[in-house]
Amino acid sequence: MLPSVAICGTARNAGLGLVATLKAIDKIREASVMSCAVIVTNDNEDNSNQVLSQWSASSPNSFVIACDGLARSIPNRIDRLAAARNMYLQALREQSATYEILVALDMDGPNVELTAESIANALAGAPRNWAAMFANQSVAYYDLFALRRANWVEGDVWSEFRSADSSAVNRYARLLGEMLDSRIGPVLRRRNLRKFVWDRQYRIDPSHPPIAVDSAFGGLGLYRYDIAVSARYDSRLPSGEVVCEHVLFNRSVALSGGGLYICPPLLNIAPDECLGPGSGAPFPRYLS
């Protein structure tokens, strides 16, 4: 039996993965002593609204926050995700009930096979000081955008990629002209993707001990509820630069004094489009 859990997520045009994820959520809730679920959605162009409406009508203590127009009022996707996640945190604060665990998850596919047993095992094996634990994936840990760990990912990998990509394009543009975009450009981009992203997506054996991080997500995070609901998502550094909303939220969680960990046996599914050649190299010993 799981302790009391609040399950939260965001969904937009989540497709077939949404239906399967909602089924997984229901099974997790059935195995908990008390639960609620809060899903924030906006501006869907598929059947996500209908799916969520039918689900919330038949699932007790389930809430869907629909905020159509958010894509127009907040054009940047990361800013929009931070706003949506703050909406589910606020909805939890407004409840009279409190919970022990907050489960934050992606709704579009990574968690279609998530089980109560895997969550229970993660909690049972958690370090004593844990404040948050994040999912691993069997092929490779994919979510470098949310990851921060010394000597692994210390900044925004996509910013590093874009900078290198732009530098390479500028270097060859005058010499190669139109051929750069049609033939050489894709080769340079794949080389930089491998260097800055795929080669750092290591395979972490599920038997590996918890890995301390400054931030992570991987489509699934387990948080101590009281710490999480006191934190806030943000997507902007003081300079105004966009940053993954999980990075600043996890920084806020860590200020509570608890530890943040990737939990290797807590497995979900890495989206195929997030992996590439080089993904899945063995996890380096110097990071263990």
Q: Kindly indicate the confidence band of residue 97, based on its pLDDT and cuts at 50, 70 and 90.
A: very high
Helix or strand or coil: residue 262? strand
Question: How far apart, in whole angstroms, are the C-alpha atoms of residue 59 and residue 175?
Answer: 62
- Averaged pLDDT of the chain: 92
- Across 234-256, average pLDDT: 96
Q: Cβ distance 197 to 140 under 8 Å?
A: no
Q: What is the pLDDT of residue 155?
A: 95
CB atoms within 10 A of CB 282: 9
Percent of the chain with pLDDT over 70: 92
pLDDT of residue 15: 87
Dist CA 35 CA 116 (whole Å): 12
For 194, the token pair is: 């491998």
- Give the right CATH number for 5-151+205-281 from 3.30.300.30, 3.90.550.10, 3.20.20.70, 3.20.20.140: 3.90.550.10
Taking the CA atoms of 233, 235, 237 and 238 in sequence, report the sign of the dihedral they define. Answer: negative
Contact of 166 with 248, CB cutoff 8 Å: no
**Contact of 102 with 5, CB cutoff 8 Å:** yes
Pick from 220, 249, 251: nearest CA to 142: 220
Does position 47 have pLDDT exceeding 90, yes or no? yes
Residues 194 and 15: their CA atoms lie apart, in Å, by: 29
The single-letter code of the amino acid at 222 is: L
Label residue 113 by pLDDT band (50, 70, 90).
very high
Distant-in-sequence, close-in-space partners of 246: CB < 8 Å, separation ≥ 6: 146, 215, 216, 217, 221, 233
Q: What pLDDT is attached to residue 215?
A: 98
Beta strands per DSSP E along 42-123: 62-66, 101-106
**How confident is the model at residue 190, as a pLDDT?**
83
Q: What percent of the chain has pLDDT over 90?
A: 85
- Assign 3-state DSSP to the chain and report helix, strand, coil percentages, each to 5: 40, 20, 40
pLDDT of residue 154: 97
pLDDT in tens, 5-23: 999 999 999 988 999 999 9
179 pLDDT higher than 50: no
pLDDT at 173: 43
Amino acid at residue number 93: R
Task: Find the angle CA(30)-CA(35)-CA(41) to the nearest 5 degrees.
Answer: 105
Domain assignments of the chain as residue spans, ordered by start:
5-151+205-281, 157-198
Please enumerate in sequence order all residues whose Cβ is within 8 A of that of 58, keeping only pairs 6 or more positions apart, or say none.
none
pLDDT for 229 equals: 97
Mean pLDDT, range 35-53, rounded to an integer: 97
Confidence band of 165 (pLDDT split at 50, 70, 90): low
